[in-house]
Amino acid sequence: MSETLREVFGEAAVAARVAELGREVSAHYAGAGEVVMVGVLKGALPFMADLLRALSFCPVLDFVRLASYGAGTSPGELRFPMDLETDIAGRHVLVVEDIVDTGRSLAYLLDRLAKRNPASLKVCALLDKAYRREVDVAVDFVGFAAPPVFLVGYGMDVGERLRRLRGVYELVR
C-alpha cells in the first residue's frame, strides 16, 4: 500500500523541539527527587527515547499501552492492554505521549494513575490537538500544536505502518 505524505514537522524541527522540551522538563523537575517517566506505547516510543537523552536527570522508566485506533484513522474503543510495573505512590510521574487528540484515553490513564497517589502527575506530548478535545485534560509540556490532519511518523502509525519516519507527516488520502 502506498501513501502520499506531506511533511508537517521535519526531522530537524522535531529534534530541536525535543531538545528544548528536555530542558523545560529538566528545569521543572530540578531538585524534585525521583521521577517515573511513563511512555504510552506504541506511538510515544521514539519521542520518549529522544526526550530521555535530552534530560539532565535519569528517570525511572516504565510503560503502559492504551489502544484506541486499531487499524483505522478515527478513534474507536479504548483498551488498556498493558499496565505499569512500577509503584508510583509518592513519586513524581511524567506521562509521555506522542499525540493528544480528544483527550479521552489520556483522561482515562491519568485517572487510573492518580488513584495510585503519585507525588505529582504531569503530561508531555510531542503533538497536541487541543481544538479536538472532548474531555478537559491538560498537557503540561507540548512539543507542537498539531494541525487538523491525520499525522504519521515519529512513532505514529496508520495500520502499524510509517512509525519509523523521523519527522511528522500528514497522511494525504
Lowest mean pLDDT among 35-39, 79-83, 118-122: 79-83
Q: What is the pLDDT of residue 1?
A: 54
Closest C-alpha to 109, from 144, 70, 135, 72: 135
Q: Between the CA of residue 93 and those of 107, 120, 172, what are the distances in Å? A: 15, 6, 36
pLDDT level of residue 2 (50, 70, 90 thresholds): confident
Q: What pLDDT is recorded for position 68?
A: 65
The 8-class DSSP code of residue 37 comes to: E
- For the chain, the average pLDDT equals 93
For 116-125, the pLDDT digits (tens) are 999 999 999 9
pLDDT of residue 71 exceeding 80: no
DSSP 153: B
Checking if the pLDDT of 51 tops 90, the result is yes
13-25: pLDDT as tens digits:
999 999 999 999 9
Higher pLDDT, 163 or 173: 163
What percent of the chain has a predicted confidence (pLDDT) above 70?
93
pLDDT reported for residue 74 = 53
Q: Is CATH 1.10.10.10 the right assignment for the domain spanning 11-149?
A: no
Spatial distance between the Cα atoms of 155 and 42, rounded to a whole number of angstroms: 7
Q: What span, in angstroms and rounded, lies between the C-alpha atoms of 12 and 17?
A: 9
Which are the catalytic amino acids? 101
Model pLDDT, residue 169:
98
